[in-house]
Structures are given as structure tokens and as C-alpha cells.
Chains A and B, each alone.
Chain A
Amino acid sequence: MGWFNSRKTITVESDVLVVGGGFAGCGATYEAGHWGRDMKVVVVEKANIERSGAVAQGLYAINCYMGMQWDENQPEDHVRYARSDLMGLVREDLGYDIARHVDSTVHKFDEWGLPMMKDPETGRYQREGKWQIMIHGESYKPIIAEAARKSATEVYNRIMVTHLLTDKKNPNRVAGAVGFSVRSGDFYVFKAKAVVIGAGGASHIFRPRSVGEGMGRTWYAPWSSASAYGLPLPIGAKMTQMENRIVLARFKDGYGPVGAYFLHLKTYTKNAYGEEYESKWYDETKEIVGDYIDQTPMPTCLRNHAMLREMQTGGGPIYMETREAFQDPHKEQVGWENFLGMTIGQAVLWASQNIDPKERMSELTTSEPYVMGSHATCSGAWTSGPEDYAPADYRWGYNRMMTVEGLFAAGDACGGTAHKFSSGSFTEGRIAGKAAVNYIKDLGETPQFDNAEIDRLKTVVYQPMENYDVGRNEIVAGTVSPSYISPLQGLQRLEKIMDEYCGGTSTGYMTNEPMLERGLELLQFLKEDIDHLGADSLHQLMRAWELNHRVWASESVTHHTRFRTETRWPGYYYRADHPKLDDEDWHCFTLGRYNPDSKDWEMEKAPAHHIID
């Protein structure tokens, strides 16, 4: 069985186990530390929580803040906004829950030392837009990580969690997780009474526009490897809205954000000939989505749609007109610091191409699709709602508990709650952290471990290294083996399948039933082939398991996309065989589950309750 069997097994006992130390995970850890004082709260992260997750690089704005103390917005307003942006479909109970708590989170960030910009006249937080407030957020993540470290009983960095464990007696109950140290190679078994999944959504499941050295310049971080879905799916957790992938209109190639540019700097887009183009596509878009186009602000996907149609019909490149705004030195400073604070690569790109936005406009484009749950999209687990008001069919347990007992979701892992961003993800982590403590307090029998399953997983986890060790002796040298493929080779196959069959950039985000069927067939081959990944190092072993999680997520995305036979979010993707929004049949959530016993994917609809007028 090879040298890897000599790896040490380290068992960590815990009460609350938090998987993923990004914003959601840090929020869960922080809050669980308060409520579970007599409990052991453990957070495990594949990188270093000081700079991990989607906010590793920093942020220049907090995009979810109500300002209830100044009566700026109420939680109901935020639900209406997210609902309208997502074409009618959000979990209003969960969205309201985040919105009513998020201000207390932001006030903590302020108290902890996050530099908040203030409006010089009112002294309030400087608004960038209705929901956004501006920050100097270079150290946003290190500050939040400090809070989590203070509150956690133990922090485990550089442990890649590969699988969740279930209770020996009840397979629909979580019992912990296993993984390995990316540094020492030791096998880790985390035993837990409750598990909060705070792991990241998915970049790199669709082929990115930049594929060479630049493939890392995805909009969402390349380390967001779909563990938010790849961990809960195999044990049977139900997902929702996995078809609701997001496409971002961003500065071309650098993917610099546009929020502050539109909202604060008042820059605007035009086509190659200097014309406003959105209104040109109004009638055509109305044909597809009906009255949804008349919502204010116009839903993100429909703005994408107008840009896409303009580019498809020869109006590109699309430009962001920056020259007027950048004549103001303050606005110029904000424009640059916005990138330096959160997307440094865009500043590098401008410097390399001699683009001074004061003198030249800059190109925009639409990105490859991403699957995540915290931005203008809401893929993720189907979870139980807040105890005080959630509709009965949205409530089966503790707040944010998935359909698997003891397993909680926050951030990208939690479905139906769009527009939570950094502050909302941390807040959702806090909600899940308290709920997990309450779950444990009420718990009778503790989970039982299946030692044979743990032993089996120990072999499975290191299999890619075994595959490489055996297979490399078959060939002289190089990367071509008949017995294994590298994690990168597997990833590129996945990206090609998803791009060409499931609505990536190469088809203009278009797919249909026969393409999705064929995509599923090819994904099945890939799913079999990832048992034959070859990893030459612990780093590549991490890449192998990231790919595994991405493949699980992709399969779920493809099943959901096939199930929803309408085009609800033109600009995100199109079902060519069902080219219109269909409220009669599809004003509902899609729920999908991998059945671990039958190995089948089960799809169903759930009602979209509108609990806010």
C-alpha cells in the first residue's frame, strides 16, 4: 500500500467544527465562542485564516449595511432589493434574517479597527450606494481573522478537509470531517457534534476567459474550490438554485470591480461608437422576461444581457467612461485605491497598458460563470429558516441547518440568500454559530463513529499520491501517463465540459437539453477518472481534492440547469430550448439532492414564499 500508510492519524475532538475560515467561518467561530463557552470550537482552513477566503486580498466597500440607526434602510427593503435582482427568487426568510442582524456585525468591525470612511457632513458611514458603505479594507481579513482566533478554542491552518463523516447509526446526521495537512501530510479526523460549512463557492468550474498564465485571474479567487458544495453533496444534503450561476460585467482581463465606479464615481458605459446601448435592448429583453425588466434598479443579469447583445451585434468593445470623473482628484484617488484595495491586478493591467483612466476609457466584458451564494446569486444548501417567523415548510430544525442533521451552512454554502457579501456572510456565520451551539445543547446521544469508514477514507484521501507513485514508473518522463491524469489536466477537462455544454462563454452562455445530457455523460467519465488522479506532492494532493469538490458541484449545477426548463436569468445563462422566463411553471426554487444510497440525483420544486409585500 506504499509509504503513505505510515502517515500519522491525528484525531481532534470538538463540539462545533467550522470548516473554512473565510468570512462565514470566522463569523461562526466568533459567535460560537460566546454561546458555547463550555464547548470546544474548532476552525479548520486549507490556507491560513490570516489571508484566506474570498476577502484575502481586501475589499474597498461593505456591500450589505442597513443603517437602521439612521433609518436609512430597513431589512424589508433589502429583501425587496435582492428579490428583484434575482428575478423574484430568494429565500425571503433567510434574507430578512441577515439584514436584521448585519448592522451589529458592521458596528463590531468598526470597533475592531476597520477604517470606515465617514460622510464629512453627516458623520455617518460614507455611502457608496444605497446598500454599500466605503472602507479602507486592505486589512479587512486579518482584522476579522484576529477576532476568530481570539474566540476559537483551536485554529487548524493548512488542513484540506476532503470529506464529511456521518453518524454510524444515522447516515443523515453529521459526525465530523476528515482531511490532511498540506504541510506534514498527516491524516486528520475531526470529531464534532455539529459542523458549520463556511467553505467557499466555485471559481474554475467553467473555463475562464484567460487560460494561460492568466488563468488565475478569475473574478472569484482561484482557491474558492466549491468545497461549500463538494463537502455536503456526497452525504445527501439538499441544494437549491445551483443553476443560478453568476456572470460579472467587469473591467476586461483584470476583472476590476465596477460598483464604486458606477455608484460613487458616476462613471458610465458606452459602446465602441460612444453610444448608450442599454435602452436599445429594452423591447427584446421585455419579450424574454416581461415586467421584470421594469424593476429598479435593473436586475444585474439583464444589464449583462444588454451588454452581451451589444457585443454580439458588433457594438464592442464596451467602454467604461472614466475621463470625466477622474478629472476630480478625489475621485481619481478613490478609483485607484478601489483597485489597490481589492483587485490589484487591475492596477497592474492599467500600468502595463498605459491606461490612465483620466485620459483613456477602459474596456468592460462579461466574465465566465461562477457558482456561489453570497454575491448577486444564491446557489447553496437548502437550510432551515429562523425560528421566530420562517414559514412551516422552510423550517425543520435549527436556523441554517441543512437537510442533514447537525450540518449548518453559512456564506457561499447557504442557498437562497443573495446579496449578503462580506458582512452578510460573517453575519450568517454568526447565526449558524449560535444555532449550532443550541443544537448541541439540546442533543441527546452524541454521534457514533464508523472506524471502518474512517480507515477507508484514509486510503481514499491519499490515493492520488499512490496513483502517481505507481504510474510514474511506467513512463520515462513527462506529464503523459496512461494510468493517471494530473489535477490540472482534470480541471481543464471539467472547465471544457462545463463551458461547452452547460452555458459558458464559448456558446454565449447558451445551453439546451441535449447539450446538458451530453455534458452529464462526459461529467460521469470525469467523475470516474478523478479516482485516477496522480498527485506528485501534498500540494497537488490538495489540488486533486479541490478538483473533486468542483466536479461534485458541477454535476449538481448541470442537473439543476436541466431541471429548470426556462430562461429566468438572461445574461447569466440561456436555455435555448426554453428561451423565455416562465413564471407559471418556474416561480419556485429548484431543489436537488444526490442520494448516497441509490446514487441517483433527485430533483424537486419548492415554493417561493413571498413573506414581504
Chain B
Amino acid sequence: MPTFVYMTRCDGCGECVDICPSDIMHIDPTYRRAYNIEPNFCWECYSCVKACPQHAIDVRGYADFAPLGHSVRVRREEEKNTISWKVTFRDGREKNFVSPIRTTPWGSIEDPKDFPGPTPEQFATQELWQEPDALHIDALPTLAGKVKV
């Protein structure tokens, strides 16, 4: 189900071009609006659909196996930290779903370098940063001394 772009909604901002993992959303040089240059390399991941500020991008199921007349629309709202889906069947039935996307403010993850650096001894251990505390157990498990080969 490759993506396509509605002519009247796209303003050519390029957010979809910037996000597409497959590099298939490009700006058409004549119309100055985005379009899918390679539908057969589209994974229908919806990254561009979610990123489009104009909601100009939609998906039509792969012509090989998906009959026409359906839609799966999405609204991803970082300010509310939710994603909302509306699934419309070919026969008109609808289903709606809303899920959380994050429990903390965007940008709130801290740089490890803002914490105290490793001691010289820590380099020689098998512990990763903040272990064993981050494991929520007393010590990092090991097979040292138990391996007989």
C-alpha cells in the first residue's frame, strides 16, 4: 500500500522527504509538491504520513492484492503524546483506536556525558553504563569460572 500525495493539500515543505527511510518521497520539480517516486520500495511504514503537517499524504493498498475503497488514516500528536487511527473498510465499516506514544516530554533524555564519568577500574569490567544498578539486581551475572571447554 504505497503512499500518494493529494495535490491540493501538499505545500511542498519537504518533511516527508526528510523522514522517509526508503528515500522515495521526492519533490516534483514541476509542481513543487512531494510524490512517491518508487512505490515498489514503499514499506507502508507511514513515517511520511505521520510527519506531514498538512495531512496531505495517504496510502492506497498495493494494487497487486488490495481491493480499492479502504483507508487507514492517522494523526500523531506529540503535544498530546498520542496516535489516533481511523480504519475504514471497503464496505464502509469503521474502527477507531488511540494509543500513547511516549510518557516523557520530547527532548528529555539526558546525555550520558552529563553524568559522572567512568572510573579507570570500570573500563576493565563487563559492566555497561549504570550497571549493575540499572539491572535492578545486585550484580551482573557471569559464567566466569563455570565454562569448561
Q: Which residues in A have some Cβ–Cβ distance to B below 8 Å? A: 30-31, 33-35, 37, 46-48, 50-53, 56-57, 68-69, 74-75, 93, 96, 100-101, 103-104, 107-108, 112-115, 136, 138-139, 143, 146-147, 150-151, 158, 182, 210-218, 221-223, 253, 333, 336-337, 340-341, 344-345, 347-354, 356, 386-393, 427, 430-431, 434, 437-438, 441, 539, 542, 609, 611-612
**Bound-complex Cα distance A247 to B136 (A):** 36
Asked if B99 and A341 sit within 8 Å, CB to CB, the answer is yes
- Known interface pairs A112-B104, A218-B43, A389-B143; 8 further A-B residue pairs with C-beta atoms within 8 A, sorted by A's residue number: A31-B112, A31-B128, A31-B129, A34-B117, A69-B135, A212-B40, A217-B43, A352-B70
State whether A213 and B101 are in contact (beta carbons under 8 Å apart), knowing that A57-B47, A112-B109, A223-B22 are contacts in the complex: no
Q: How far is the CB of A242 from chain B (nearest CB, A)?
A: 24
State whether A351 and B70 are in contact (beta carbons under 8 Å apart), knowing that A107-B134, A387-B126, A539-B37 are contacts in the complex: yes
B79 within 8 A of A: no
Asked if A35 and B118 sit within 8 Å, CB to CB, the answer is yes
Asked if A215 and B40 sit within 8 Å, CB to CB, the answer is yes
Contacts of A50 in B (CB 8 A): 19
Asked if B43 and A221 sit within 8 Å, CB to CB, the answer is yes
Q: Which residues in B have some Cβ–Cβ distance to A below 8 Å? A: 1-2, 18-24, 26, 37-47, 59, 61-72, 74, 76, 83, 85, 87-91, 93, 95, 97, 99-113, 115, 117-118, 123, 126, 128-132, 134-137, 140-149
Asked if B20 and A389 sit within 8 Å, CB to CB, the answer is no
Contact of B67 among A101, A218, A341, A352 (CB under 8 A): A352
Contact of B135 among A107, A386, A611 (CB under 8 A): A107
**Bound-complex Cα distance A427 to B128 (A):** 9
State whether A115 and B97 are in contact (beta carbons under 8 Å apart), knowing that A218-B43, A221-B21, A345-B44 are contacts in the complex: no
Contacts of A253 in B (CB 8 A): 62, 65
Asked if A217 and B135 sit within 8 Å, CB to CB, the answer is no
Contacts of A35 in B (CB 8 A): 118, 123, 129
Contacts of B19 in A (CB 8 A): 48, 50-51
Asked if B47 and A136 sit within 8 Å, CB to CB, the answer is no
**Bound-complex Cα distance A146 to B107 (A):** 7
Contacts of A47 in B (CB 8 A): 20-23
Contacts of B113 in A (CB 8 A): 33-34, 37, 151
Asked if B47 and A354 sit within 8 Å, CB to CB, the answer is no
Asked if B128 and A430 sit within 8 Å, CB to CB, the answer is yes
**Bound-complex Cα distance A333 to B95 (A):** 10
